[in-house]
């Protein structure tokens, strides 16, 4: 085990940066450049070798990777495959370490160890451009890395062996669910995964809460809020509850406070709310440590041995010094499967990275501090999050305009019970054009929305053409309204809190169209 691995939570900045550069150099030399088709070419074209990267400042020589690099084009229909590390058996066979291993343990053992290192066996998908989700592949070695990260999440969040965990993330091929699942297994902690609202509904999840009396609940903020709110309304008790771990969406201070209040109403004596931040391409997430109510979060605790986070100027791409706001860029150390170097997340932090010891837990790890938000360009591309899934409005328009048997349409966004902290609701208003049955059309539209956009409308309502014209404001507004947002604004108390520090989202998450009993 290297010093960086062994002492990952107690090294000063200088040592972290030196050791990270060393390990990255070794990783580039022995894995990425020999076995990644994409990076072999990129380095060749730029006249770079692994030796060109000697310090973390040298990272700037490597071009960024972005989400669009993974998207297929007509010329390259399997673009994501260029980013998978595929070993050349001849190169491996010539290595002294391979020969040594063969002599000591035999050929079969060598073959097996390479299989476990390089053969992809697991994947999660990115969301967003939902028409074409892109896979990020893991080998057994990546699962081991994920497991290491998971144990740290459990440790930093402060869950213990005796705790019972309830995982409310939806069953899906997205990072958040699997990371939580592996965290339970790797941490040796009792965990129940309910699949969230979509699988068991609010009532089913409430029954589970009543039955297993969880100490820790993990999931998407809006769904947890919805569930606890319902639990309070039904007069339930959950005295054990002492921690809520959030992922998948931004978390405002207002929501944190509300969750703490709900915990209290359920009989919890001391409850902490901690958030996590991660994304599909990192194959991991980073947690906050618990901190006293009313104090600022210590930020997301990074694992310096598993990857390098840089903060860059979102406009120029220039690397910025510690504690400077900017865009988050990630480079893995020692990953296999899908490997992206200097992956631009599009997420910006207003606090940057700090190397100072955490004021709450005392760990000396790089920490991502401040409020994290998505790059404004994302908005310009008409992307927005509905029910935790990024939805491209252009695509939505396309999908509904081309749906058979309907004329004009409108998508209305609301909140459950018009409570600003509750879950999003999607109501699809449509005008039927011919004699097809309403039930059948509803089924078809639901299927279409999910297939192309990964969203589930909560209700579909049929209207006459006059009613549709009225809804869309035809004749009274300059432009017909195809997307209306009737979600109430945050109440003042919660809004004040949003200026604060904490936010998180695991972009990897979606499909959390938690079923309400509407």
- CB under 5 A: which stretch of 90-98, 162-170, 351-359, 509-517 binds Zn ion? 351-359
- Pick 221 or 298: Cβ nearer Zn ion: 298
Among 101, 198, 213, 360, binds Zn ion (CB under 5 A): 360
CB of 286 to Zn ion, least distance (A): 11
Query: Which residues touch 433 (CB under 8 Å, ≥6 apart)?
Result: 405, 406, 407
Of residues 9 and 431, the one with the C-beta less far from Zn ion? 9
Residues whose CB is less than 8 angstroms from the CB of residue 368 and which lie 6 or more positions away in sequence, other chains included: 277, 286, 299, 300, 302, 309, 328, 349, 351, 352, 353
| Strand blocks (E) in 365-446 | 367-369, 372-374, 383-386, 389-392, 406-415, 424-432
- Tokens representing 3 are 């010093």
User: What CA–CA distances, in Å, run from 410 to 308, 427, 472?
Assistant: 44, 8, 7
Report the chain's terminal Cα–Cα distance, integer Å: 54
In the complex, the smallest distance separating the C-beta of residue 359 from Zn ion, rounded to whole angstroms, is: 7
Q: Which is nearer to Zn ion, 360 or 482 (CB)?
A: 360
Q: Site mask, Zn ion, residues 279-298, x = CB under 5 A?
A: ----------x--------x
How many Cβ atoms from other residues are within 10 Å of residue 435's Cβ? 6
Indicate the residue among 152 and 250 with the shorter CB distance to Zn ion: 152
Residue bearing tokens 């790089």: 366
C-beta of 231: minimal distance to Zn ion in Å? Answer: 29
Q: Min. distance of Cβ 360 from Zn ion in angstroms?
A: 5
361 binds Zn ion (CB under 5 A): yes
Smallest gap from residue 7 Cβ to Zn ion (A): 16
Q: Judged by CB, which is closer to Zn ion: 77, or 294?
A: 294
Q: Which is nearer to Zn ion, 175 or 358 (CB)?
A: 358
Residue from 282, 358, 430, 460 in contact with Zn ion (CB under 5 A)? 358
Least Cβ distance, residue 290 to Zn ion (angstroms):
8
Closest by CA position to 124, among listed 356, 338, 387, 358: 338
- H or E, element range at 122: strand 120-125
Residue 506 Cβ, how far from Zn ion at the closest point, in Å?
A: 19
Q: How far is CA 96 from CA 2, 26, 86, 93, in A?
A: 20, 15, 20, 8
Choice between 26 and 363, CB closer to Zn ion: 363
Among 269-277, 354-362, 419-427, 444-452, the segment contacting Zn ion (CB under 5 A) = 354-362
Binding site for Zn ion (CB under 5 A): 289, 298, 358, 360-361
């Amino acid at each position: 085990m290297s010093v960086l691995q062994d002492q990952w939570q107690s090294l000063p900045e200088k040592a972290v940066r030196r050791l990270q550069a060393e390990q990255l150099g070794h990783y580039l030399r022995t894995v990425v450049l020999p076995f990644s088709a994409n990076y072999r070419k990129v380095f060749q074209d730029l006249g770079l070798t692994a030796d060109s990267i000697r310090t973390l400042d040298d990272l700037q020589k490597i071009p960024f990777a972005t989400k669009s690099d993974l998207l297929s084009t007509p010329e390259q229909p399997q673009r994501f495959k260029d980013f998978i590390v595929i070993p050349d058996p001849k190169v491996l066979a010539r290595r002294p370490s391979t020969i040594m291993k063969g002599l000591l343990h035999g050929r079969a053992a060598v073959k097996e160890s390479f299989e476990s290192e390089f053969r992809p066996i697991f994947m999660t998908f990115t969301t967003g451009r939902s028409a074409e989700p892109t896979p990020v592949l893991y080998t057994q070695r990546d699962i081991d890395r994920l497991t290491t990260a998971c144990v740290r999440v459990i440790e930093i969040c402060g869950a213990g062996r005796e705790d019972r965990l309830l995982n409310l993330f939806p069953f899906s091929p997205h990072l958040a669910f699997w990371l939580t699942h592996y965290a339970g297994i790797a941490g040796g902690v009792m965990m129940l995964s309910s699949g969230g609202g979509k699988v068991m509904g609010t009532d089913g999840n409430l029954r589970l809460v009543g039955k297993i009396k969880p100490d820790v609940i993990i999931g998407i903020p809006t769904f947890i809020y919805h569930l606890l709110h319902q639990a309070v309304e039904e007069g339930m008790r959950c005295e054990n509850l002492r921690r809520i771990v959030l992922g998948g969406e931004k978390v405002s201070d207002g929501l944190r406070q509300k969750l703490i209040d709900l915990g209290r109403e359920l009989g919890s004596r001391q409850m902490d709310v901690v958030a996590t931040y991660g994304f599909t391409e990192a194959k991991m997430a980073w947690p906050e440590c618990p901190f006293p109510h009313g104090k600022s979060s210590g930020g997301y605790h990074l694992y310096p041995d598993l990857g390098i986070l840089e903060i860059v100027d979102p406009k120029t791409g220039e690397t910025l010094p510690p504690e400077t706001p900017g865009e988050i860029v990630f480079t893995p150390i020692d990953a296999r499967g899908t490997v992206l170097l200097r992956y631009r997340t599009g997420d910006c932090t207003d606090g940057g990275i700090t190397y100072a010891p955490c004021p709450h837990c005392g760990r000396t790890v790089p920490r991502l501090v401040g409020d994290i938000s998505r790059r404004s360009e994302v908005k310009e591309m008409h992307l927005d999050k509905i029910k935790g899934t990024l939805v491209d409005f252009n695509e939505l328009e396309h999908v509904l305009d081309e749906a058979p048997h309907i004329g004009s349409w409108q998508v209305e966004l609301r909140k459950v019970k018009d409570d600003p902290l509750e879950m999003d609701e999607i109501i699809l208003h449509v005008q039927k054009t011919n004699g097809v049955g309403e039930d059948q059309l509803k089924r078809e539209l639901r299927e279409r929305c999910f297939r192309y956009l990964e969203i589930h409308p909560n209700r579909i309502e049929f209207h006459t053409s006059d009613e549709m014209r009225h809804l869309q404001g035809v004749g009274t507004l300059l432009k017909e309204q195809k997307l209306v947002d009737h979600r109430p604004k945050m109440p003042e108390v919660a809004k004040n809190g949003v200026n604060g520090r904490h936010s998180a989202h695991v972009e990897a998450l979606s499909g959390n169209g938690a079923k309400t009993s509407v």
